[in-house]
Amino acid sequence: MKAEKSNNFGYNINMKDLARIKRNKATKAEACLWKYGLSKKQTGFTFKRQRPVLKYIADFMCQELKLIIEVDGSSHDDLVVRLKDLKRQMELENAGFTVIRFTDEEVLDNMDDVRRMISEVISELGVRESSL
- Residue pLDDT, tens place only, 58-83: 999 999 999 999 998 766 567 887 89
Q: Is the pLDDT of residue 5 over 50?
A: no
> Which pLDDT value is given to residue 81?
79
Mutual orientation of helices 111-130 and 28-36 as an angle, nearest 10°? 60
Of all residues in the chain, what percent carry a pLDDT higher than 70?
A: 74
Phi then psi for 2, rounded to 5 degrees?
-70, 140
Bigger pLDDT: 9 or 94? 94
Place 24 in a pLDDT band, splitting at 50, 70 and 90.
Answer: low
> Which pLDDT value is given to residue 11?
64
> Which pLDDT value is given to residue 74?
62
- Quote the mean pLDDT of the chain: 83
- CA 122/CA 128 separation, integer angstroms: 10
Q: For Cα atoms 47, 40, 42, give the angle at the middle one, nearest 5 degrees.
A: 115
- CA 54/CA 38 separation, integer angstroms: 22
- CA 37/CA 96 separation, integer angstroms: 23
Asked if 14 and 90 count as a contact pair (C-beta separation under 8 A), the reply is no
Q: What is the mean pLDDT of residues 94-103?
A: 95
Asked if 102 and 70 count as a contact pair (C-beta separation under 8 A), the reply is yes
Going through 4-119 in order, the beta strands assigned E by DSSP cover 48-53, 56-62, 67-72, 98-103
Phi then psi for 42, rounded to 5 degrees?
-80, -40
Beta bridge partners of 132: none
13-130: CATH topology: Endonuclease; Chain A (3.40.960)
> Which pLDDT value is given to residue 75?
63
